[in-house]
Amino acid sequence: GAKGMLLFNVLSAYAGDPILSMQLAYRDDARPEKTNLSIGLYYDDQGRIPRLSSVQQARERVLRSTDPSMYLPMSGNPAYCKATQALVFGADAPALHEGRVATIQTVGGSGALKVGADVLRKFFPGAQARISDPSWDNHRAILEGAGFVVETYPYFNRDTQRLDFDRMLAGLKALPQETVVLFHPSCHNPTGADLSQAQWDQVVDIVVSRRLIAFLDMAYQGFGDGLDDDAYLVRALVCANASFLVANSYSKTFSLYGERCGSLSMVCANADEAGRALGQMQQAVRRNYSSPPAFGASLVETVLNDAELAALWRSELAEMRTRIQTMRSRLYEGLCAQQPGVDWAFLMAQKGMFGYAPVLAQHMMRLRNEHAVYIIESGRICVAGLNDANVDRVAYAFAAVLK
Ligand code: PLP
């Protein structure tokens, strides 16, 4: 009270994260038909966060162990890192055998972005960072938090509601050497607008010839076209002998949000460079949080390193991917039926968890107030929040506010 030091009176209020604030409004909404398409979570067809059977079986095994809880090394669980490398780079990637990929376990994909940004900032102090326009909001926050000046490169055309590839290429070509450029290899957040493999090839040419520092953020590997297809950019950059970074996240693909499972890899020119890259990532970890948590990584590692559980997980992942694709089609068909004159084809061209319909942005409050449908300000829709029970009503609500 009044007797306190008021030392922290200088602190300004934190506006909070708009998406997380919306969760609270949704939670307190008493309407039974309420539908949450705002946050980027995968829900099953019952509207629940799934418990994957592969992960459940791994959990039973891990819980049987009576080992004490020891610190992991700064770089995390070695078996987890090795299995993650196989998934991200492909099991027989020559770069792995050549020992020129350094990989650490991180606190989710977000932790990987932070550690990678810290390492880059230390050794490229003159570099700026570029993210796509638009991008996941936390990309800017994390890169700026690491000290970078962050600008955008052209990505999405709001008139066609599609990727603006020519402007993207021109933007990348104009960047100074050693600019840090953040890419979404697949399932772009928020737009769902992805590059084709041929388009990525052109980006790779520019990255290599212009000596750009590509930083890949792969938070949805397997939610687009499949585990290998979604990692095309990773594989293409390796083939082109690029030096680059990859962040990966298991939050969505293992439905393990709270366990904070991710990784950061630095692909180097040779094993000697990779050894130093590992050391620098370890140092960045040490000075941020010392070492990563053990439990979630042991679950992921148990699944990926057991042939049977790994096969089960791949089928569960395929099921999630297929469900998202089905719901995207159902929404599209519903919209076409409600609004025969409107071209929603762009929705079908998008991939991954999100649909992006900036046209809906201005109707966000009406969707919420009149139809109990929650979307975020940008017009991003989480397609994975749709199910048999709500998809027709959502299509109706969208059509109603757009009339
Ligand atoms: N990158 C993108 C594009 C994301 O959408 C997300 C999560 O929403 C992340 C990274 C962060 O993943 P994690 O929850 O594992 O930190």
For every one of its 403 residues, what pLDDT tens digit does the chain have, with 9 covering 90 and above? 567 888 999 999 988 777 778 888 999 999 999 999 998 999 999 999 999 999 999 999 999 999 999 999 999 999 999 999 999 999 999 999 999 999 999 999 999 999 999 999 999 999 999 999 999 999 999 999 999 999 999 999 988 889 999 999 999 999 999 999 999 999 999 999 999 999 999 999 999 999 999 999 999 999 999 999 999 999 999 999 999 999 999 999 999 999 999 999 999 999 999 999 999 999 999 999 999 999 999 999 999 999 999 999 999 999 999 999 999 999 999 999 998 888 899 999 999 999 998 888 899 999 999 999 999 988 999 999 999 999 999 999 999 998 8
Of the candidates 164, 194, 217, 230, the residue annotated as catalytic is: 217
First to last CA, the chain: 53
User: To which H or E segment does residue 194 belong?
Assistant: none
Residue 225 and residue 150: Cα distance in Å, rounded? 30
Q: Which atom number of ligand 1 is nearest to the Cα of residue 111?
A: 16
The total of other beta-carbon atoms located within 10 Å of residue 198's CB is: 7
Helix or strand (DSSP H, E) at 214 = strand 213-218
Do β-strands 156-157 and 150-154 pair in parallel, antiparallel, or remain unpaired?
unpaired
The atom number, within ligand 1, closest to the CA of 136 reads 3
Cα 233 from chain centroid (whole Å): 15
pLDDT number for residue 337: 93
- What pLDDT sits at residue 1? 55
Read off the tokens for 354: 């999100």
The two structure tokens encoding residue 245: 């970074």
Query: Catalytic: 82?
Result: no
The residues with which 132 forms a beta bridge, in sequence order, are 153
Question: How far, in Å, from the CA of 213 to the mean position of ligand 1?
Answer: 20
Name the residue of 114, 136, 223, 253 whose CB sits within 8 Å of the most ligand 1 atoms, as the mutation to test its pocket: 136
Phi, psi (deg, nearest 5) at residue 377: -50, -35
Of 49, 15, 2, 56, the C-alpha closest to 313 is: 56
Tokens of 231: 């990692």
Pairing of strands 101-107, 354-356: unpaired
In whole angstroms, what is the distance from residue 103 CA to residue 115 CA?
12
Helix (H) or strand (E) holding 131: strand 129-133
Q: Ligand 1: list residues with CB < 6 Å.
A: 40, 108-110, 136, 189, 217, 219, 249, 251, 262
Ligand 1, residues 249, 300, 353: which to mutate, most atoms within 8 A of Cβ? 249
Angle between helices 108-123 and 271-288 (to 10 degrees): 110
The region, left, alpha or beta by phi > 0 then psi within -120 to 50, assigned to residue 162 is beta
- Which of 114, 164, 194, 252 is flagged as catalytic? 252
Q: Which of 114, 118, 136, 313 is catalytic?
A: 136
Instruction: Specify whether 252 is catalytic.
Output: yes
Torsion on CA atoms 159, 160, 166, 168, rounded to nearest 10: 70
Task: Give the number of the atom of ligand 1 that is nearest the alpha carbon of residue 184.
Answer: 3
Distance of CA 300 from the midpoint of ligand 1 (Å): 17
Instruction: Report pLDDT for 341.
Output: 83
CB atoms within 10 A of CB 133: 17
- CA dist 262 and 109 (Å) reads 5
Q: Which mutation among 39, 110, 137, 353 tests ligand 1's pocket best, with the greatest number of atoms within 8 A of CB?
A: 110
Q: Whose CA is nearest to atom 2 of ligand 1?
A: 219
